Structure 1
Amino acid sequence: MKQLLKISALLMVMLLTSCADQHSLQKYYVDNQDNADFISIDIPASVITLKDNVSAEDQEALKSLKKMNILAFKKNDTNGAEFLSEENKVKSILKNDKYIELMKFKDKGRNVVVKYEGDDNEIDEVVVFASDKEKGFALVRVLGDNMQPAKIANLAKNIADIDADGLKQFEGLLK
């Protein structure tokens, strides 16, 4: 009986310390938002508009979005080691079982992974991680209400239908 109690206590301590060591995406954002190698932008969903010819389903998916938090690492000639270190930290965070992969693709030398937190009926958070070995990476958290995986995936596929005029006000921040 004593041995069972000792084993239970040891397992409880291991469980608690493993949870405490685990980095969250929110903590990663907070820790790096003032880092000179990063650009941090919070964008309300209200500045994102779709072109007139999109489906009602895409419009409904956009209405379920509240805001986006963007954290981008700009790679240059002097921060290659930091780039690899930070990229590995993000990949490690996204390996957490709470993030479910929605899609993964490559485009023009960029690797893009879209994951979400929630269940099959309702998403709490969508995370987009895009990495380019030459330019750096971007980590986008999309927060909203009643986001549905299928509709968000469809919206992501039709992202070309976004009207960029609403985002022009942020253009200078990325240069």
Structure 2
Amino acid sequence: MKFQSIKKLVMLALTVTAFVSCNNGPTLQTYYVDNELKPGFTTFDIPTSFIDVDKVELSEQQEKAYNSIDKLNVLAFKLDDNNTDVYKIELENVKTILTNPKYEELMRGGNTTDGKFVVKFLGDIENIDELIILGNANDKGFMVARILGDDMNANDLVSLGTVMDKIDFEDTELNGFTDFFK
């Protein structure tokens, strides 16, 4: 094979690789960045250290789950009388992003009257890198929460649900977040 042919083949391979790697479509990360400052949106980045679990007794499984979480990113869109059309478009945009096969579904629930939620993840069930929760309330808006961590386990994370009920959010910035959908 001639040197020119090899050179052309290498250039073609590099071009194809660059094109394919740049064409993965929108991601939640880019959606967050693109929308965090737009009207109607609110964002929160919450490190796990912000939640004081010292006052709550954790089982070994719950402690393992808590320690596997690095932070929580939340993007919320608050619905009002003036942004119903934007709400529908933005909710559909997030749903479209989450149809990417890299986001595996863990569970879903809710109803068409009050609202729905879906929980998806990146990674595998034993070693989750990112847990995504999309919830919408038809009269309030929607929220996308990204729980980021290392080797999170779905069963361990579920065990934290009972602990969250015992944590006092009244004197934290999270109280303002919980007021967002009231």
TM bucket (normalised to shorter chain) is 0.7 to 0.9
Contact 1:39 1:73 in 2 (8 A): yes
* Counterparts of 1:165 and 1:77, CA distance in 2: 29
Between stretches 101-110 and 55-64, larger displacement belongs to 101-110
Is 1:45 matched with 2:12? no
Which residue pairs with 2:130 in the alignment?
125
Which residue pairs with 1:79 in the alignment?
83
* Counterparts of 1:115 and 1:166, CA distance in 2: 29
CA RMSD in angstroms comes to 2.7
* Counterparts of 2:123 and 2:135, CA distance in 1: 21
Provide structure 2 residue ranges, at least 5 long, that are not aligned to the other structure.
Answer: 1-11
Which residue pairs with 2:68 in the alignment?
64
Could you tell me the percent identity over the aligned residues?
Answer: 36
Matching of residues 6-21 of structure 1 within 5 Å: 16=19, 20=23
* Counterparts of 2:135 and 2:154, CA distance in 1: 19
**Structure 1 counterpart of 2:92, one-letter code:** N
Q: TM-score, normalised by structure 2?
A: 0.77
Hey, which bits of structure 1, 4+ residues long, moved more than 6 A?
Answer: none
CA offset digits 1:108-140 (Å, max 9, x no partner): 923111111001320110001011111000000
Contact 1:69 1:141 in 2 (8 A): yes
CA offset digits 1:26-79 (Å, max 9, x no partner): 000000010111001100011124463443212221111110110000000010
Q: CA deviation at 1:21?
A: 6.3
Matching of residues 1-175 of structure 1 within 5 Å: 16=19, 20=23, 22-50=25-53, 52-106=56-110, 109-156=114-161, 158=162, 160-165=164-169, 168-172=172-176
> How many residue pairs were aligned?
163
Greater Rg over alpha carbons, structure:
2
* Counterparts of 1:44 and 1:167, CA distance in 2: 16
Provide structure 1 residue ranges, at least 5 long, that are not aligned to the other structure.
Answer: 1-8
Hey, which of these two has a bigger chunk of helix by percent? 1
Q: CA deviation at 1:150?
A: 1.9
Contact 1:49 1:162 in 2 (8 A): no
CA offset digits 1:127-174 (Å, max 9, x no partner): 010111110000001101121122123334x36435133772243465
